[in-house]
Homo-oligomer: A and B are copies of this chain.
Amino acid sequence: MDSTVRLSDVAKRAAVGVGTVSRVLNGSANVSAATRQKVLHAIAELGYVPNLVARSLAANRTGLIAAIIPVIGNTQHSEVIQGMTDVLHAHGMNLMIGASGYSDQVELQVIEAFLARRPDAIYVTGVRHSEAVRSTLQRSGIPVVEGSNLTDRPIDTVVGYSNFNASVDLTRLLINRGYRRIWYVTVTRDFDDRIDDRLEGFRSAVSTGLELKTDVIRCENSFDGGAEAVRLAMASNVGVEAMIFATDVMAVGGLLECQRRGINVPARLAIAGFDDLTIAASINPSLTTIKVDRVDLGRKAAEIIVNRLQGNDHSSRIVDVGFQVVERDSTRRP
């Protein structure tokens, strides 16, 4: 454990060359069992801990993966990170994390800071990035994994699900349940392709239904924002029957506002969300939403990275982890 012990000390102690110690450390086959034992012994006696910084420089490989998500203190994105660390840790790799704050500029800054540390690969949230980000990432020469959405033109590899399709399916579910006057509530913020695609999915799904009466409004992505949206819907005189929220946070906020105002959900107003936060299944009534296994998405992203780094490059450039429309009570017509 004493960090002043170097590889050369181990070599001396075991009476072998430094190359040999390095070989046993890296599991090279070309070491006799006897020598290996001697070295292992010396390592244990000295409490030697390899200096991974020196290894990184010499081997031109750090074992560090960089990941960028919009905000860290946010379950949806942190769950992906949890999944990534799970598999990376199992492979002796570690994760550096950074937040873009939903900003183009910050994203670029964070990426540049990361690249200076020579990560072996990088994960970025989303599939639409500024040109600067795209080219920086491309020129980096390391595997790039984009996540949490899908695109047919990834920078390198993408692992996610189609926010567009999910939104289409969710909207169609409501239409099939008989709802005709539907409001869609999206977020007052740019630079988030998941949110954008969800809105486009809604628009696409309702574009053919001539008998539909729909509208799109924007609110803050918070419980309060969702409550505000419900207030707006109730204040309007168009007789809104259903509201689809771009996020569960807003949907739950809307649902709670309905509780407060005695609006029966779904009898008077149906509500659907997106993300399947844990609360979605527990709230009253339980919330219809889109579910994605985000921890698994993170695991898959890390597995792709590990495979690429080990030279197993047979994996697809586009990995669809799928989604699930979870119908619950908030949209079940009485």
- List residues of chain A with CB under 8 Å of any chain B CB: 1-3, 49-54, 56-57, 62, 64, 71-75, 78-82, 85-86, 89, 92, 94-99, 109-110, 112-118, 136, 139-141, 222-224, 227, 252-253, 256, 259-260, 278-279, 281-284, 294-295
Cα distance A97–B82 in the bound complex, in angstroms: 9
| Residues B56 and A85 in contact, CB atoms below 8 Å apart | no
| Residues B98 and A3 in contact, CB atoms below 8 Å apart | no
Number of identical protomers: 2
| Residues B96 and A64 in contact, CB atoms below 8 Å apart | yes
Question: Which B residue sits closest to A294, measured CB to CB?
Answer: B73
| Residues B282 and A223 in contact, CB atoms below 8 Å apart | yes
Residues of chain B within 8 A (CB-CB) of A97 are: 81, 85, 95-97
| Residues B49 and A53 in contact, CB atoms below 8 Å apart | no
| Residues B81 and A72 in contact, CB atoms below 8 Å apart | yes
Question: Which B residue sits closest to A1, measured CB to CB?
Answer: B139
Cα distance A86–B98 in the bound complex, in angstroms: 9
Residues of chain B within 8 A (CB-CB) of A259 are: 259, 284
Residues of chain B within 8 A (CB-CB) of A1 are: 136, 139
| Residues B284 and A53 in contact, CB atoms below 8 Å apart | no
Residues of chain B within 8 A (CB-CB) of A95 are: 96-98
Q: Distance (Å) between the CB of A6 and the closest chain B CB?
A: 12
| Residues A114 and B94 in contact, CB atoms below 8 Å apart | yes
| Residues A282 and B115 in contact, CB atoms below 8 Å apart | no
Cα distance A2–B51 in the bound complex, in angstroms: 27
Residues of chain B within 8 A (CB-CB) of A222 are: 278
Most chain B CB neighbours (cut-off 10 Å) among A57, A73, A79, A294: A73
Cα distance A279–B256 in the bound complex, in angstroms: 10
| Residues B295 and A279 in contact, CB atoms below 8 Å apart | no
Q: Distance (Å) between the CB of A149 and the closest chain B CB?
A: 19
Residues of chain B within 8 A (CB-CB) of A98 are: 85, 89, 94-95
Cα distance A3–B86 in the bound complex, in angstroms: 30
| Residues B72 and A82 in contact, CB atoms below 8 Å apart | yes
Q: Distance (Å) between the CB of A285 and the closest chain B CB?
A: 10
Cα distance A162–B89 in the bound complex, in angstroms: 32
| Residues B78 and A116 in contact, CB atoms below 8 Å apart | no
- Known contacts being A78-B72, A94-B96, A97-B95, is A260 close to B284, with CB within 8 Å? yes
Residues of chain B within 8 A (CB-CB) of A92 are: 113
Q: Considering the complex of A and B, which 10 residue pairs feature the smallest CB-CB distances, nearest first?
A: A73-B79, A72-B82, A223-B282, A73-B82, A78-B78, A73-B78, A52-B116, A52-B117, A53-B56, A72-B81
Q: Distance (Å) between the CB of A60 and the closest chain B CB?
A: 9
Question: 30 A-B contacts, Cβ less than 8 Å apart?
Answer: A1-B139, A3-B115, A3-B140, A49-B116, A50-B116, A51-B116, A53-B53, A53-B118, A72-B79, A73-B75, A73-B294, A74-B78, A75-B75, A75-B78, A78-B78, A81-B97, A85-B97, A89-B109, A89-B113, A92-B113, A94-B114, A95-B97, A97-B97, A222-B278, A223-B281, A227-B282, A252-B279, A256-B282, A256-B283, A279-B279
